[in-house]
Structure 1
């Protein structure tokens, strides 16, 4: 996918808008919830920060993909949970508070882990072109600018004007989701002639990564003895990643159009599997009640 004004300008602005919308629903209490839900939060963090990159590495090692696509999937695996995961968790009758907490905490942690994982991936999979490097300091500043800064602004708005934040929360979520969907759709339509080849080369790896991470989330939730609501949150947080951030990193920071394919395809796949999660867990809830 070619870098252009869409990926260079509108995509980062879209992500900032989404993160601002998330901030409108957060309070400082969300960041201290780790004390009250230590086991659930620890399980979710283990899956997202450690197991997800490991699974990503195994997938791109054993599934034939080009070095660029391998790095693209590793970038995606290094990203935190996306705002979409909070909405899907809510609609799936999971623990939304836990989902928001995991999203918030991983958004902080991955500022430090993304440059490390990406640079290791570039060195491992593209050793012949290792001159392509991701500046750690610059990357941390840019990720902060398009994630934590707008989240902080959203939280400040909520603190200063809680009624306004409450009214704006739902419209911002809808607006952000629509804008993101339109941008991804526009990017895919622009590359529609190459899309079959993209699916052929990266589709299987992206699907396996998504399904494997959700399966690991389910197993981890069972082993940790989490409640049904917390297990749902961990499953969805494990499989629904911040695809927008992955596209931003590959398109605007690494400036490698080929790498953008993997997170873009993953974003489409996770919407489909997320929809199936909503259907499955709601049907299961109705059956129990």
Structure 2
């Protein structure tokens, strides 16, 4: 069972693409997902909480400067890049709110896996994901209201409450289960990623199905914006970390954390508060950031191996 779970998680990007294609070509098969968005996202965040411990909170206190720089980069770079892209391409309101909402969300849970594969600082990655997720109920609605208020009316209090229910509460519940039911959590740990992947795949497929009528008209443009958004996040996140004198492992970790958003949350909030069209950027991002993250990790592994060979030759 554990091998099956690992295989499914490994091919998550392909499964997400398949769900998106199914939602676009046969929308009736996945439109039912719309009624279960908040529950599915809550399950994903509960799984994330199960991977955390109170020791992770102590780590944040032990390394406040690095985590603070990473969190600052996360909530400054991605929202501003989103706003710049919206202004540059003059997007209509329903698409503009989707891009800005995506930029205002915290880091994605997949970033921890990508940081590990890229030989980054996994502890820093977990600390950043945890901190941005806990701040999300306040920061995400505030950024969305500030940057998108001119495009569409945003209910700050309602969005904050929804994020607390869908993100904060499940994460804290998962943390408590991990702490007080350690043995049970250890048994469930290999299976939880499977449930997370299934939920994310269904979320993406459902979003595409609900917005299939508009997807073929705006899909190419949204794909371009998502690639640019993600690319600028990875590049600027790395540059900011190096500017503050972080080493290569820490800088690549910050880069991954900044570039990989919680796109499932963005799509869910878009469906709950705006329109299916506003969820399109989050759905496309869910596919692309797994692909780009894997390529990014492969780049750093190859570079480390190349540098290691040079050091051996010089010795």
Which moved further from structure 2: 205-214 or 61-70? Answer: 61-70
Report what 1:255 is aligned to: 274
Decide whether the 8 Å contact of 2:49 with 2:171 is kept in 1.
yes
CA deviation after TM superposition for structure 1 residue 89, in Å: 1.3
Separation of aligned partners in 2, 1:212 and 1:65: 19
- List aligned pairs for 1:201-280, cutoff 5 A: 201-252=221-272, 254-280=273-299
Report what 1:129 is aligned to: none
Q: Relative to 1, partners in 2 of residues 1:91 and 1:174: Cα closer, same or farther, differing over 3 Å?
A: farther
CA deviation after TM superposition for structure 1 residue 191, in Å: 5.1
Separation of aligned partners in 1, 2:282 and 2:258: 15
SS of the residue aligned with 1:81? coil
Which moved further from structure 2: 19-28 or 239-248? Answer: 19-28
Decide whether the 8 Å contact of 1:8 with 1:251 is kept in 2.
no
Separation of aligned partners in 2, 1:168 and 1:229: 30
Decide whether the 8 Å contact of 2:81 with 2:232 is kept in 1.
yes
Report what 2:157 is aligned to: 137
Which moved further from structure 2: 26-35 or 144-153? Answer: 26-35
Decide whether the 8 Å contact of 1:85 with 1:240 is kept in 2.
yes
SS of the residue aligned with 2:39? helix
SS of the residue aligned with 1:80? coil
Report what 2:33 is aligned to: 6
2:64 is the alignment partner of 1:44: no
Separation of aligned partners in 2, 1:94 and 1:30: 17
Decide whether the 8 Å contact of 1:24 with 1:166 is kept in 2.
no
Q: Relative to 1, partners in 2 of residues 1:27 and 1:115: Cα closer, same or farther, differing over 3 Å?
A: same
Separation of aligned partners in 2, 1:101 and 1:108: 11
Report what 1:99 is aligned to: 125
CA deviation after TM superposition for structure 1 residue 248, in Å: 0.9
Report what 2:17 is aligned to: none
Separation of aligned partners in 2, 1:263 and 1:276: 20
CA deviation after TM superposition for structure 1 residue 31, in Å: 2.0
Decide whether the 8 Å contact of 1:243 with 1:266 is kept in 2.
yes
2:111 is the alignment partner of 1:85: yes
RMSD: 2.2
Separation of aligned partners in 2, 1:13 and 1:287: 45
Q: What runs of 5+ residues in structure 2 fail to find an aligned partner?
A: 1-23, 309-315
Return the TM-score normalized by structure 2.
0.82
Q: Relative to 1, partners in 2 of residues 1:170 and 1:150: Cα closer, same or farther, differing over 3 Å?
A: same
